[in-house]
Chain A
């Protein structure tokens, strides 16, 4: 085990209303891979952003190569040798691969940028990584996996001493992940310290030396990977609350009628020939890795994106859905993964958001009946236990969980029979998560049919009656909850399709 190269101690960071990091510690050593684990929203990415100067820390110290440092931007961090491979791809799709890799530090010949040399250097880099990408290709034309590889190549090309991988495998195929591991082992041998952020337990076991776990913005502990079991890590990650009452078998009666049937749905590259059925009172989990095409399937089904072909039957009747309006008419509601962008209108009040999909019910002649609107909004605030001082409150002032409840209320006023929850608990704190779960269960018990897209395995296993697994735009499996395990779901989600 090498010497310590980077120490973060007592890092504290608050955003308005959220204590994002609560005195967190982290230690990275030369030539080791440190896993940084935690649920979504545990603060891993925030911690790394503090390290690389994107956010300013409120308190705490960062010691790097024996000196206390504070970077004011990523450039400084890069120059010092700390680079991050971002979870979101930071690419410039109109520029070539080589131009992307060397952006901000181009080789120059006089005032001229030496593109030839950049291409050569990029080629050398790829050769060293043993991957085959043409440096002159436009970034936007590459597959997501290749783009990720370019990001990694960019990080390596900085002569970094510490490289942070922020969920690098999420968009990669199994073979690409193997490539990635080879690269990481190679870097490790060269004495580079690596922070590897991931949700995927199997990867952690294979590639990492130590595991640091975070939960709700706090430091929980650090384990030696080979001395600890999966359960040890999971217990540290989630506490016990999340594992309360996992479903063991479906609660849906065998003869429950089919309310939604999708046949051979095609929409672009990300949705290829997807078919499934949804029963009354059922929660159908959609599992898969990031970029598997689950959200795209939901959006095509909802008419938010155009579909190329396929048949949709609602309550046995064939329907044409070309726009969200059509979908809403068929009784389908969609709760987007990205609430702020697609779910709520943040500058409007709770009441206005609640009636967004059903405004015609609250009209008195040509005027909006604000009294009636308010009553309905209040009714749902009460029944969903939304925490807001009153319904005139702007949604922007509510917490994530309560915003989600407002979106749910919007679809309940519409009396939708089919609800699509896309990552329903993303960015919501643990307590509120449980409330959302309870709510979904009671909705299902009332006879609503629910499609739940989730990247959190625990959520899928806890909530679903049946599970559909997708990989690279195709449906790769369907499981009853009684036969579902993390392993067989992950197996299907990473299957190579030929």
Chain B
């Protein structure tokens, strides 16, 4: 307050600044970054606790390396889906076509491999290409035609399922075994007992984190997720960046398909939707806000591990997959609700 000769006003303004100052100070003591870190620490605890719990419940049967490797197999492909959908959710959108699209990628490329004799390298490229195509399709409709993202998801989910069935003539596809010709792709997840897949997955996650936090793409994606109109009025081509987030998602789904077949070899058309919810669960549990603008790759990674461990644990305890559907559903509701509450409190 430079020219505050008017006592009441001057005082008022100073008060305001003081009030502002105090608020700001409070926030500084407890920085936002730290808070996200806190979330992650809690998640890590949950992960360890869950592991311990499953070990106790199965009377130690769960403790073996085999279970962990099996859980990791599940975590790889789910992790790629989850990383992909993190980018989309960061823009404030949603993509729940990722599961069926992943199956479509695996089926189309696998069918080319087995029925048309395409070499393994080319099959992988095809898989990624199919993923990209769906990403482009979703992104274009959402960004340039303002179709609500859940509608495009629903449509492309059906299209992916239908397309895969038509392409493979409704037959399941089995990718080659490790020893067969072209079986080298299986070493993407495991060489001997070394979980190569873990390193690849973590490497990709780090790249994703860099893209999200250090590059223009990430900056614009997060900003437009938080306030699209303000970013547009800053002269940024928001449509382009929004579409790119879906394309990144498609790319990661295409890679995820390879890791799925590397773990399980056989894919059946018409399925894949249960993975949507699990991938989204991993993402929102990790602290990515459904409202957009706030995303954490490391959170997503931990979230995915939790989901993978959960699925392995449920199977180990002798329950069916159906229980996992219910538990994941409840987790997503809880995670999103806590985000809603946090936002409500902020306002």
Contact = CB atoms under 8 A, between A and B. Distances in A.
Q: A–B direct touch, CB within 8 Å, in complex?
A: yes
Interface of A: 16-19, 216, 218, 239-241, 302, 304, 323-325, 327-329, 334, 336, 341-348, 352, 356-357, 359-360, 363, 366-368, 370, 387-389, 393-394, 396-399, 410, 414, 429-432, 434
Given A241-B6, A366-B216, 11 more contacts: A239-B6, A304-B232, A329-B235, A345-B226, A345-B230, A356-B230, A357-B236, A368-B214, A397-B27, A399-B16, A431-B4
A352 B231 CA distance: 11
Contacts of B230: 336, 341-345, 356
A399 B17 CA distance: 8
A317 B230 CA distance: 28
Interface in B12-48: 12-13, 15-17, 19-21, 23-25, 27-28, 32
Contacts of A334: 233
Contacts of A359: 216, 219-220, 236
A389 B28 contact: yes
Interface string B308-347: 0000000000000000000000000000000000000010
A327 B232 contact: no
Nearest to A355: B219
23 contacts: A16-B23, A17-B20, A19-B12, A239-B9, A241-B9, A323-B237, A324-B233, A344-B230, A348-B223, A356-B236, A357-B236, A359-B236, A360-B216, A366-B216, A368-B216, A368-B219, A388-B24, A389-B21, A394-B27, A394-B32, A396-B346, A430-B9, A431-B1
A347 B293 contact: yes
Contact of B9 (A304, A329, A357, A431): A431
Given A359-B219, A397-B27, A345 B6 contact: no
Nearest to B343: A347
B214 A430 contact: no
Interface in B26-77: 27-28, 32
Given A357-B236, A393-B24, A429-B13, A341 B216 contact: no
Contacts of B215: 366-368
Contact of A17 (B19, B229, B231, B293): B19
A397 B23 contact: yes
A348 B237 CA distance: 18
Contacts of A329: 235
Which label, helix, strand, loop or mixed, suits the secondary structure of the A interface?
A: mixed
Nearest to A328: B235
Contact of A356 (B3, B4, B223): B223
B179 interface: no
Task: List the 6 closest A-B pairs by CB distance, nearest first.
Answer: A328-B235, A431-B13, A357-B234, A356-B234, A345-B227, A347-B226
B15 A19 contact: yes
A425 B210 CA distance: 38
B16 A324 contact: no
A344 B4 CA distance: 29
A389 B26 CA distance: 11
B227 A341 contact: yes
A345 B346 CA distance: 15
Nearest to B15: A19
A18 B250 CA distance: 46
A186 to B, nearest CB: 40
A389 B27 CA distance: 11
A430 B13 contact: yes
Interface in B216-253: 216, 219-220, 222-223, 226-227, 229-237
B216 A387 contact: no
Contact of A398 (B20, B234, B294): B20
Nearest to B227: A345
Interface string B190-218: 00000000000000000000100011100
A352 B219 contact: yes
A216 B12 contact: yes
Contacts of A218: 8
Contacts of A327: 235
Nearest to B25: A389
Contacts of B235: 324-325, 327-329, 357, 414
Contact of A345 (B27, B28, B231): B231
B297 to A, nearest CB: 16
Contacts of B294: 347
Nearest to A396: B346
Nearest to A18: B16
Contacts of A370: 214
A16 B13 CA distance: 15
A396 B24 CA distance: 10
Nearest to B27: A397
A478 to B, nearest CB: 27
Interface in B280-302: 293-294
A393 to B, nearest CB: 7
B236 A325 contact: yes
Contacts of A430: 9, 13
Interface string B128-140: 0000000000000
Contacts of B222: 348
Contacts of B13: 429-432
A398 B16 CA distance: 11
Contacts of A366: 215-216
A46 to B, nearest CB: 16
Contacts of B20: 17, 387, 397-399
A418 to B, nearest CB: 13
A359 to B, nearest CB: 6
A344 B227 contact: yes
Nearest to A17: B19
A323 B227 CA distance: 17
Nearest to B26: A397
B329 to A, nearest CB: 28
A367 to B, nearest CB: 5
Nearest to B289: A347
B332 to A, nearest CB: 22
Nearest to B14: A431
Given A239-B6, A356-B223, A359-B219, A389 B24 contact: yes
A25 to B, nearest CB: 17
A327 B234 CA distance: 10
B24 A397 contact: yes
A434 B9 CA distance: 13
Given A17-B19, A387-B17, A324 B216 contact: no
